[in-house]
Structure 1
């Protein structure tokens, strides 16, 4: 889970998009890997989760949220943990270049 200091406040409008998520009709086990899951099994589960995300009406809100709070677990907004980490690192490099 993200750091509590990075989470948006308890304003319903900020969270309303979650009610429209395609993932709500699916068990969370598809989006979060069990302890020790590796290799082909993990890639297949991630791919199945991403298929659901691909047709989700709130994909971008979910992705933006997961990156903003640096969600460390699961598939959010069609991105795996590793993909989010790379996106965050790339954004930080860009911000550093622009600031420097």
Structure 2
């Protein structure tokens, strides 16, 4: 059976995320992907030995800090050895960083729901963005506070349905504008519940739409490492 190696970009992280310049300089380029992520049903002793071998490669890497920052930004998607840390260590590091960010950042002032015009556009792009944000923990209530739309309206748009074939142009434009920033923003207190619901629905997260026109009804999400 042929082993999968890290060839295309030089980092296991970016197999299902945007390709960045630093990734091509990663020390793991050419190494077996299984070394960093492990096989199914791996015994703990084997995992610890494998992780130490993977970490030894990370210690020689000149872009390990960039890799770690990118890995920490993935939210709940924490697995494998990335950025010179195991998944357990990154979870601990991310919790501490998110707590600090919440304590230091001023609470955003919620926008009042705006009065919507009669102009409407296809709902598909808005629905995909709402579903992708749910995968990383952003609830309709949290998104509504940012773009000035009611949580119930956003929830209806997110779940789709025959009566939701279109969306007001104000909501569609506001969400498209704020989507890149929301992808990089830690979710709120309801994130765990939101992510569980998204996983149950089988929605596609932000990495699946990288390089894809989310507003094109005929477009399909990319195959990601998580879905493979």
Instruction: Report the TM-score when normalising by structure 1.
Output: 0.78
In the alignment, structure 1 residue 85 sits paired with structure 2 residue 91: yes
Q: Distance in 2 between matches of 1:92 and 1:57?
A: 26
- Unpaired stretches in structure 2, ≥5 consecutive residues: 1-12, 107-228
Larger helix share, 1 or 2: 1
Q: Distance in 1 between matches of 2:56 and 2:46?
A: 15
**Counterpart pick for 2:32 among 27, 35, 51:** 27
Cα deviation digits, residues 41-91 of structure 1 (max 9, x gap):
101101100000000011011001000123422111111111111111111
- Unpaired stretches in structure 1, ≥5 consecutive residues: none
Q: Distance in 2 between matches of 1:82 and 1:58?
A: 21
- What are the equivalent positions in structure 2 for 1:1-100 lying under 5 Å apart? 15-70=20-75, 71-99=77-105
Aligned residue-pair number: 91
Task: Say if 1:97 and 1:47 are closer, same or farther in 2 by CA, change over 3 A.
Answer: same
Q: State the Cα distance separating 1:38 from its structure 2 match.
A: 3.1
Relative contact order, higher structure (CA 8 A, sep 6+): 1
Q: State the Cα distance separating 1:99 from its structure 2 match.
A: 4.7
Q: State the Cα distance separating 1:16 from its structure 2 match.
A: 1.1
Task: Work out which of the two has the higher radius of gyration on C-alpha atoms and give 1 or 2.
Answer: 2
Moved more, 72-81 or 47-56: 72-81
The runs of at least 4 aligned residues of structure 1 exceeding 4 Å deviation read none
Give the superposed CA RMSD: 2.2
